[in-house]
């Protein structure tokens, strides 16, 4: 099982659209796919056609990542009416808003990782849709992830913000979870006819080089239509939908190439180590831990405590 987070610093740039586009590509390829909806707005849950009253949600999982709660928070998407396969969603909740602390504790930061370890054998790919900030929820997602895709509009402002996100990510990787890597910045809502758009993308490529993904997602109304209807873009009629579906296929291919063949095991599986870490660092915030990590004379490396440097197999 591989885990991919889709993030951005700014709201409304297309995280959910990209997360659902990739989920659609994965589902059409027959990958057993789970979407985790960490955004209190729950747009991904809606886009997957999971509307209704749910018993348990991701908010409960973040309180207590127990096996039974994790399983009850996951429902099947109505996308499976189109063709057989596995496309599930860990249901989002407005209650996660209260869990989006700017200074999460080290215990809180591991909870999604521990939860996903419980379903490790059930999915090939997990896609996490995150809220538009790098507070607790997003960092909880990153700690549980192998890769992070950062979505940006084709403007310099947005890419500067996106790049700031990659710095926060680097910090987290160094301090806590070496498995985490950024895939790069994906430009969304690109308008091919606008010369300004072209200029911007070139300017961005010059400045950020290969940190910008080779694929760009164009502005396409079919994306809004499919999302609004709770349907996957791969099942939407018309030429435009086919074209944009192929773009998401290529982005998924890029993700898979980056992930390689080997599936790293969840650290949550190694519960003893997490417990030990929690005991040592209980009550400390993530920021405190990262600060200690950054200082050169740190006696106990978090990495050392977790044994992350060793091969997990
Ligand atoms: N490439 C695109 N073409 C057309 N519409 C798009 C595209 N990407 C996003 N949109 C539209 O823009 C709006 C915002 O997109 P989306 O909800 O994916 O952003 P978000 O980053 O998840 O927002 P939030 O930060 O609120 O979670 C939606 O109505 C969506 O349909
Ligand atoms: Mg969203």
Please give the distance, rounded to the nearest whole angstrom, from the Cα atom of residue 42 to the centre of ligand 1. 13
> Is residue 190 a part of any domain in this protein?
yes
Please give the distance, rounded to the nearest whole angstrom, from the Cα atom of residue 13 to the centre of ligand 2. 8
Task: Ligand 1, residue 219: give the atom nearest the CA.
Answer: 3
> Is residue 25 a part of any domain in this protein?
yes
User: Token digits for 177?
Assistant: 């979870």
> What is the domain-level CATH number for residue 221?
3.40.50.300
Please give the distance, rounded to the nearest whole angstrom, from the Cα atom of residue 183 to the centre of ligand 1. 20
How does 29-65 read in b/e, with b if 16+ C-beta sit within 10 Å? Answer: bebbbbbbbbbbbbbbbbbbbbeeebebbbbbbbeeb
Residue-level pLDDT at 75: 95
> Is residue 171 a part of any domain in this protein?
yes
> Is residue 256 a part of any domain in this protein?
yes
Residue-level pLDDT at 98: 93
> Is residue 223 a part of any domain in this protein?
yes
138 lines ligand 1 (CB under 6 A): no
Residue 280: its H or E element: helix 271-281
Residue 254: its H or E element: helix 239-259
146 lines ligand 1 (CB under 6 A): no
> Is residue 312 a part of any domain in this protein?
no
- Which distant-in-sequence residues (6+ apart) come within 8 Å of 244 by Cβ? 21, 217, 218, 220, 222, 223, 233
Please compute, for residue 270, the number of CA atoms within 13 A of its CA located in the half-sphere on the CB side. 17
Pocket test for ligand 1, best of 10, 14, 188, 217 (most atoms within 8 A of CB): 14
Residue-level pLDDT at 273: 55
> Is residue 112 a part of any domain in this protein?
yes
Task: Ligand 1, residue 221: give the atom nearest the CA.
Answer: 4
> Is residue 313 a part of any domain in this protein?
no
17 lines ligand 1 (CB under 6 A): yes
Please give the distance, rounded to the nearest whole angstrom, from the Cα atom of residue 129 to the centre of ligand 2. 7
Q: Residue 301: which domain range?
A: 2-306
DSSP letter string over 133-178?
SSSHHHHHHHHT-SEEEEEE-SSHHHHHHHHHHHHHHHHHHHHT-T
Which residue's CA is minimally distant from atom 2 of ligand 1?
A: 219
Number of domains into which the chain is organized: 1
Please give the distance, rounded to the nearest whole angstrom, from the Cα atom of residue 57 to the centre of ligand 1. 23
14 lines ligand 1 (CB under 6 A): yes
- pTM beyond cutoff 0.75: yes
User: Token digits for 89?
Assistant: 């969603």
What is the chain's pLDDT, residue by residue, as a tens digit (313 residues)? 999 999 988 889 999 999 999 999 999 999 999 999 999 999 999 999 987 777 899 999 999 999 999 999 999 999 999 999 999 999 999 999 999 988 888 888 889 999 999 999 999 999 999 998 888 999 999 999 999 999 998 887 777 778 777 888 888 887 778 788 889 999 999 887 766 666 677 777 887 888 889 899 999 999 999 999 999 999 999 999 999 999 999 999 999 999 885 555 565 545 555 555 555 554 566 666 666 555 543 344 444 444 444 443 3
Residue-level pLDDT at 243: 97
Residue-level pLDDT at 107: 85
For the chain, give percent helix, strand, coil, nearest 5: 50, 15, 35
153 lines ligand 1 (CB under 6 A): no
217 lines ligand 1 (CB under 6 A): yes
């Amino acid at each position: 099982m591989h885990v991919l987070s889709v993030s951005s610093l700014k709201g409304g740039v297309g995280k959910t659209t990209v997360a659902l586009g990739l989920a659609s590509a994965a589902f059409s390829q027959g990958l057993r796919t789970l979407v985790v909806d960490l955004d209190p707005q729950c747009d991904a849950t809606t886009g997957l056609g999971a509307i209704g009253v749910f018993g348990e949600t991701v908010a409960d999982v973040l309180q207590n990542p127990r096996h039974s709660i994790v399983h009850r928070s996951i429902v099947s998407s109505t996308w499976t009416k189109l063709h057989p396969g596995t496309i599930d969603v860990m249901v989002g909740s407005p209650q996660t808003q209260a869990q989006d602390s700017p200074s999460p504790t080290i215990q809180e930061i591991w909870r999604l990782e521990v939860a996903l370890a419980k379903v490790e054998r059930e999915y090939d790919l997990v896609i996490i849709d995150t809220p538009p900030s790098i507070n607790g929820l997003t960092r909880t997602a990153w700690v549980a992830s192998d890769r992070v895709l950062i979505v940006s509009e084709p403007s310099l402002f947005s890419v500067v913000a996106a790049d700031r996100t990659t710095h926060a990510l680097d910090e987290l990787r160094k301090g806590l979870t070496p498995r985490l890597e950024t895939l790069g910045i994906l430009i969304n809502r690109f308008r091919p006819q606008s010369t300004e758009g072209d200029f911007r993308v070139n300017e961005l490529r010059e400045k950020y080089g290969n940190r910008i993904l080779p694929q760009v997602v164009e502005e396409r109304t079919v994306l809004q239509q499919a999302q609004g209807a709770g349907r996957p873009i791969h099942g939407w009629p018309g030429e435009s939908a086919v074209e944009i579906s192929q773009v998401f296929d290529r982005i998924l291919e890029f993700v898979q190439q980056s992930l390689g063949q080997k599936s790293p095991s969840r650290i949550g599986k190694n519960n003893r180590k997490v417990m030990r870490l929690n005991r040592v660092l209980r009550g400390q915030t993530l920021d405190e831990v990262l600060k200690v990590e950054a200082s050169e004379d740190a006696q106990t490396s978090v990495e050392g405590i977790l044994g992350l440097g060793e091969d997990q197999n």
